[in-house]
Amino acid sequence: METATAAAPALAVADLALSYDGSSPVLEGVSFSLPAGSSLCVLGPNGGGKTTLFRALTGELTPLRGRVDIDGRPAYLAQTERTRLDFPVSALDVALMGSLANGRWWLPARRSDRAAARGALARVGLEDRAEVRFGELSGGQRQRVLLARALVQDARVLLLDEPLAGIDPASRERIEALFRELRDEGRTLLVSTHDVDSARGFDRVVCLNQRQVAFGEPATALSRDALEQTYGDEIVVLDDEADGTFRAVTVQHHHH
Amino acid sequence: MILDYIRAVTLLAALPSPGDLVELPFMRTALIELTLLGVVGGLLGAWIVLRRLAFFAHAVGTATFPGLVVADATGFSATLAGLAVALGYAGGVERAGRATPADGGGDHGDVATALALVVALALGVVLASDVFESGAAVDRLLFGTALGLGGADLLVASGAAALALVATLLLGRAWTAVAFDGRGAGALGLPLRVADLLLLGLIAVAAVAALPAVGALLVASLFVVPAATARLLSRSVVGLLTISVGVAIAQGAVGLYVSLWLDVPPGPAVAVVGSSLYALVTLTRAALGGMTAPLPIAEAS
């Protein structure tokens, strides 16, 4: 029985259809499963359904069809420009919010909760920034504070919304190293992005454009055909090599 | 020149002794009432400002106006009438807000709020002037009174203060997390709807408790202005709560004194004192801006 538990996926999604009005789906045909300790890149254009999928995984959105099986309660890490930067909380306060997941949110934080929050900040390399206001940290540091909150929450599955958008290369390397550490501990990471190049570093990729276009290892899922179906006219393929490898960049069309 | 001098002396001679606030029985009652409401407004105001519910807090007070006019004319309890309208309104806003995603902000039906505000004022004025011919009572209902406050009002205000304190202790951590990052807080397993519903309901109850003293139109002077001032001065949620309560109590006492001096209802006096303090803090901060603004930490690590 031990082996059966170990083999159980950390996250399984079967024929999922999601809708905001209860009738017309905005995302459908999503089916994939992930072993514990793996990473998934959720790739797609803006409006392709990345955030909608995350909302279903956190339980905020009830599926129209299909099902979601997930190991424990996933942590959700918003883009830090979307979290309130003028909010009067320190890095430690934010990390400490993770302890609210213990279900006793009406009680004050315990000493052990504070110790856990400080420990988590140390793990992300921010112990000396504990008292700094969240909004005064750099973008990369804020993302690491949200990772610390997820560590205090002890989430087995982490959902990260464009965590590397607008972050300088040094911070990026640091965060990617943390991602590897978290995976080595058996945590499962789902990272949404619209950046095709960064998708190649993940164990799996799922391409979404109102439906699941492709799922699998980057080498197979990121086919030219799949990318064109995912991005439509927003994609430009560069360096089309004879051996089948290629580079692609997306062009963001802004409709105002 | 001489006339100006005489005018100034007369105005100063009319300046009441601050001791009157505690020595005159009706003023003492009003001072206790405003101090209790300062605790309510200071605490809830902090959550109102963090959750961006200022417009709602203003609207929920105003929404009670037609209810108060009817209660006043028919002899029905103003507290119960106000409570029924305010809670009904809060429930409606919560329903409207639920349709919008939990992005941490959520507009809580801003358009619906504005519409309800206009309808409530119009309905109240029509009821007061054409149906019940309430006349002078309208002033009291809209702007409050320092004269007519009694034991029942103090009891209601004490109850509201106790509720605000208990709710802040029990729900403060959850409210902070939800206001900071709604979707992240939902993923922590926090009951978002319950937290929102309790906050909206509590604001409604507290607004009704504040009606006798500051009136339907100026509830925001107690529930928004002190916390908005404190927001400029605080770097932590505990600091925000503390400063907010302090400012609310102080503006209540000073406002009451001004109301005694100039013989105006306490609502407008408290509102003017509170808003002046907010303006003063904002201007001082702007003047010192270069020196006190927090320096963003822009290092790469």
Q: Convert the pLDDT of each residue in B211-227 to its tens digit.
A: 888 888 888 889 999 99
Residue in A with minimal Cα distance to B105: A84
Under 8 Å CB pairs connecting chains A and B tally to 114
Chain A hits for B102, CB-CB cut-off 8 Å, are: 60
Q: Which of B70-74, B122-126, B297-301 has the lowest mean pLDDT?
A: B297-301
The DSSP output letter for A154 is T
Rounded to the nearest angstrom, the gap between the alpha carbon of residue B293 and the centroid of all alpha carbons in its chain is 28
Average pLDDT across chain B, whole number: 84
To the nearest whole percent, how much of chain B has pLDDT over 90? 38
A2 or B153, higher pLDDT? B153
pLDDT of residue A242: 59
Residues in Cβ contact with B61 at an 8 Å cutoff, skipping those fewer than 6 apart: B86, B207, B210, B211, B216, B217, B218, B219, B220, B223
- Partner residue facing A100 (CB), from B188, B235, B294: B188
In angstroms, rounded to a whole number, what is the distance separating the alpha carbons of residues B40 and B50?
16
- Pair of tokens at residue A120: 């988590």
CB contact under 8 A, A101 and B174: no
Chain A hits for B298, CB-CB cut-off 8 Å, are: 138
The full set of domains in chain B, from first to last, is 22-283 (1.10.3470.10)
Over residues B187-205, mean pLDDT: 90
CB contact under 8 A, A97 and B185: yes
Q: In sequence order, which ranges of B127-150 are alpha helices (DSSP H)?
A: 137-143
> pTM of the prediction?
0.85
How far from B64 is each of A94, B73, B267, CA to CA, in Å?
Answer: 38, 14, 16
The dihedral built from the CA positions of residue A48, A53, A56 and A62, taken in this order, carries a sign that is: positive
In angstroms, rounded to a whole number, what is the distance separating the alpha carbons of residues A225 and B231?
53
CB contact under 8 A, B183 and A76: yes
CB contact under 8 A, A88 and B186: no
Q: What would the 3-class secondary structure string for A220-253 be?
A: HHCCHHHHHHHHHHHEEEECCCCCCCCEEEECCC
| Cβ count near B175 (within 10 Å) | 24
Q: Kindly report the nearest CA distance between residue B287 and chain A, in angstroms.
A: 20
pLDDT-derived band of residue A2, with 50, 70 and 90 as boundaries? very low
pLDDT-derived band of residue A209, with 50, 70 and 90 as boundaries? very high
Q: In sequence order, which ranges of A30-99 are alpha helices (DSSP H)?
A: 50-57, 91-96
pLDDT-derived band of residue A253, with 50, 70 and 90 as boundaries? low
Chain B hits for A172, CB-CB cut-off 8 Å, are: none
Give the model confidence (pLDDT) of A212-250 as tens digits: 999 999 988 888 888 888 888 777 766 666 555 666 777
Give the model confidence (pLDDT) of B229-267 as tens digits: 999 999 999 999 999 999 999 999 999 999 888 888 888
Chain A hits for B181, CB-CB cut-off 8 Å, are: 78, 83-84
Give the model confidence (pLDDT) of A81-108 as tens digits: 777 788 999 999 999 999 999 888 899 9
pLDDT of residue B106: 47
Which residue, among B173, B231, B240, would best test binding to A if mutated, counting the most A CBs under 10 Å from its CB? B173
Q: In sequence order, which ranges of chain A are alpha helices (DSSP H)?
A: 2-7, 50-57, 91-96, 111-123, 139-153, 169-184, 196-199, 218-221, 224-231
ipTM entry: 0.85
Q: Report which of B275, B109, B65 is spatially closest to residue B200, judged by C-alpha positions.
A: B109
